[in-house]
Structure 1
Amino acid sequence: MAASMKDVARLAGVSIKTVSNVVNDYPFVSAATRSRVQAALDTLDYRPNTSARGLRTGRTDLIALAIPALDEPYFAEMAGLIVEAAERRGWTVLIDQTGGDRAREKLATGGSHSHWIDGSITSPLALTGDDVADLVQQRPVVLLGERFTHATADRVAVDSVSAAREATSHLIELGRQRIAFIGAQAQGRTGAVRLAGYRSAILDAGRRPEQGLIVRVERFRRAEGAAAMARLLTAKRPPDAVFCANDLLAVGAIRTLLSSGLRVPQDVAVVGFDDIEEARFTTPSLTSISPDKQQIAEVSVELLCRRIREGADGPPVSVVAGHRLLVRESSVGVVDASGEAFTSDPPG
């Protein structure tokens, strides 16, 4: 038989109300009492009756997480962090893969199963501003990413323009002359935002962006990065550096460079964006913009918590998460077996 709240109260030597306060994470419980009740909960392997709680509170303690692709490392890593942050607050996360399709994004964020969830966190690629406004009327919604700058929902994002400018400036400071960009996309997509940062850095350096050095992609995949790099290498004056809009594109680009007999970074330096785990283990290791994923997860869950549990209203909140450039071998070189450092000096 499953343990009841009454069983937990008896073992902990407290009232059923106190057990309820601990289970529901109410603040006015002393640390000693909370610890004693938690020990009893663990001993009895107590599991809350979510159906009964839903009838009392009007909540299910389920939230939705809608992301474009589960097989993309950035989204997989982010999903793991969000699940951990939600679990610490007593929530279960239902994860939907949308493929960047508008209908699926709407369904995952608050469609036909909206009565099952208390709110949602979504990383939209296709939702419109009107879609978001409609969804917010149904359930609390927190948006992730650069797609909306003036949304009617709470939003957490990295300043991708600033981060892309920093990545490109790093290559300029290394003396690279022909810096390409892989990852251009239609307006409103991630690639377009990061392209703006790349262009800004090039202009700040007194140069003019060359259209021939900018390659469009449909999706941020390794194969597209490899194909884009191959196109760039056919130019009369190939690039001596490339900034990729995400790490998967950069991994693909490095593969093409090495397969073509070129050295990274001696012949072509490469920088990515996202700092996925794979970036630390590529050969050479990948220089990358590292968004503060832990902050993104914690803040997005906390914003949703305020809307759901505290009934917070008021205007939408927009939070800019931190980022940093992690410099690795793909832009500055490595030390060989003899101890001689390969510098990041451009070829020639």
Structure 2
Amino acid sequence: MRVSLKDVALRAGVSIKTVSNVVNNYQHVTPAMRARVQQAIDELGYRPNLTARHLRKGRTGIIALALPELGNPYFAELAAAVIDAAARHDYIVLLDHTGGLREQELLVSQGFRARVIDGLILSPIELEPEDLRGRAEQVPLVLLGERDYDLPYDHIAIDNVAAARKAVRHLIDLGRTTIGFIGARRGRSQPAQLRVRGWREELTAAGLPADDGLVATTDGWGHADGARAMARMLDAGRRPDAVFAYNDLVAIGAMRVLSERRLRVPQDVAVVGFDDVVEGRYGAVTLTSISPDKTAIARMAVESVLARLDGEEHEPRRVRADYSLIERESTRGRG
């Protein structure tokens, strides 16, 4: 039989209200009383009925997380961080895969799952501001990613221009002077545009040429895209002494081609990626990368949704998440 609050209260010799206060982590319970109740909880194996708790508040206990590429390690790692952050508040996460397609992003943002979720965390690729400006759905929405939306929703992102400049500055400080960029996506892609902008600004600030012939476009951001772009650049007779890639997958693909062409990383060509995914830490040459604070992004996203659910009134916030440059063998070599 399921252990109830009443069972715990009888075992601890306290009121049901006191047990409820301990379970809900209310601060006014004395340490001695909390320990007494916790001992009874442990002895009986009590587990809170989270569904009932949420239903009493008129909630489902579910937050939806809509991402463009669940197969991309960055988004997979971010999803895991959001699930962990939500669990700390006794919420579960429903994952939606939009494929970066506008029609799927519209479907999700306009309330496709509104009846079963309390809030939505969305990382859009193709949605335009007007798509969200007329949103009628009242479920709280938090935006992730680098597209710039002037909208009444909390938006959590890193500063892509500054992060790209940091990556390029690292290469310049190592004495590299012919620095390419791989991953300038064809069509609309604000994150790629911002990272190219950072690449260009830092080279210009250092008095180095921002050579458009060393900017390689790609159709996607996977290993194969990076490999094809690196091969095209080399086949065109353009050999940089460093490459900054849109993301780690593109960088890893580029390094594969460099190895096949008998070019050493980092001696001949240094490489920096973006996202700091686990794969980049375990290759034959470990990858230097810009590392967004995925744990903080997840925590802030979940807390933003819950704050709106709790009725907190504040102006929509544009939150800049932290990032760092993690130096590894692809630029520093082996120590």
TM-score by length of 1: 0.89
User: Cα 1:302–1:332, aligned 2, differ >3 Å: closer, same or farther?
Assistant: same
**Partners in 1 of 2:246 and 2:84 — Cα distance?**
27
**Partners in 1 of 2:211 and 2:61 — Cα distance?**
51
Aligned residues: percent identity? 49
Aligned alpha-carbon RMSD (Å): 2.1
Could you give the per-residue CA deviations for residues 142-165 of structure 1, whole angstroms, max 9, x where no partner exists?
A: 111111253321111111110101
Which amino acid counterpart does residue 265 of structure 1 have in structure 2?
A: P
**Partners in 2 of 1:292 and 1:238 — Cα distance?**
33
Q: Does 1:218 align with 2:226?
A: no
User: Cα 1:156–1:12, aligned 2, differ >3 Å: closer, same or farther?
Assistant: farther
User: Which has the higher mean CA deviation after the structures are superposed, 200-209 or 224-233?
Assistant: 200-209
Corresponding residue for residue 290 of structure 1: 291
User: Cα 1:78–1:40, aligned 2, differ >3 Å: closer, same or farther?
Assistant: farther
**Partners in 1 of 2:118 and 2:38 — Cα distance?**
25
User: Cα 1:190–1:302, aligned 2, differ >3 Å: closer, same or farther?
Assistant: same
**Partners in 1 of 2:229 and 2:39 — Cα distance?**
57
**Partners in 1 of 2:308 and 2:326 — Cα distance?**
35
Cα drift, residue 210 of structure 1: 1.6
Could you give the per-residue CA deviations for residues 42-80 of structure 1, whole angstroms, max 9, x where no partner exists?
A: 543424151x44443111111111111222111111111
> SS in structure 2 opposite 1:105?
helix
> SS in structure 2 opposite 1:46?
coil
Cα drift, residue 134 of structure 1: 4.2
**Partners in 2 of 1:64 and 1:34 — Cα distance?**
34
Corresponding residue for residue 106 of structure 1: 106
Which amino acid counterpart does residue 209 of structure 1 have in structure 2?
A: A
Q: Show structure 1 runs of 5+ residues with no match.
A: 336-348
Whether contact under 8 Å (1:67, 1:123) holds in the other structure is: yes
Which amino acid counterpart does residue 204 of structure 2 have in structure 1?
A: L
Corresponding residue for residue 82 of structure 1: 82
> SS in structure 1 opposite 2:302?
helix
Corresponding residue for residue 267 of structure 1: 268
**Partners in 1 of 2:158 and 2:81 — Cα distance?**
16
TM-score by length of 2: 0.92
**Partners in 2 of 1:33 and 1:190 — Cα distance?**
52
Q: Show structure 2 runs of 5+ residues with no match.
A: none
Whether contact under 8 Å (2:177, 2:208) holds in the other structure is: no
Count of aligned pairs between the two proteins: 333
Corresponding residue for residue 326 of structure 2: 326
Could you give the per-residue CA deviations for residues 67-97 of structure 1, whole angstroms, max 9, x where no partner exists?
A: 1122211111111111111111111111111
Q: How does 1:135-284 map to 2 (within 5 A)?
A: 135=135, 137-185=137-185, 186-284=187-285
Whether contact under 8 Å (1:66, 1:96) holds in the other structure is: yes
> SS in structure 2 opposite 1:138?
coil
User: Cα 1:318–1:37, aligned 2, differ >3 Å: closer, same or farther?
Assistant: farther
